[in-house]
Amino acid sequence: MSKLSTIPPKLLKMPYNKNMNKTTSKTEYQTVRNFLTNDQWDLLDRALNEYQDHDEFADEVDTLGARLQDLFDNSVDQSEGN
């Protein structure tokens, strides 16, 4: 049995794949979008709108907002009644 390392990955100098957090296909975007309901996405959007007033996190909120916009620009609403 191999011994598990307790050293955090950052300290192991593991290569970081810059694309590992990138979505590349419509199917992947759709899978992420379908993970939450429209009401849950709306709640997240409202929370981000409230949080953007905190200047120290403005860049992070803008970045996350752009990522979410990409998600919705590259997927379709599959909720019931649509």
pTM of the model: 0.60
pLDDT digits (tens, 9 = 90+) for 27-57: 888 988 999 999 999 999 999 888 887 778 8
Domain ranges of the chain: 22-73
Q: Helices (DSSP H) in the chain: which residue ranges? A: 26-34, 38-51, 58-73
Q: Which residue, among 43, 44, 45, 29, has the nearest Cα to 78 in the 3D structure? A: 29
**What is the chain's mean pLDDT, rounded?**
77
Whole-number pLDDT of residue 18: 54
Whole-number pLDDT of residue 29: 87
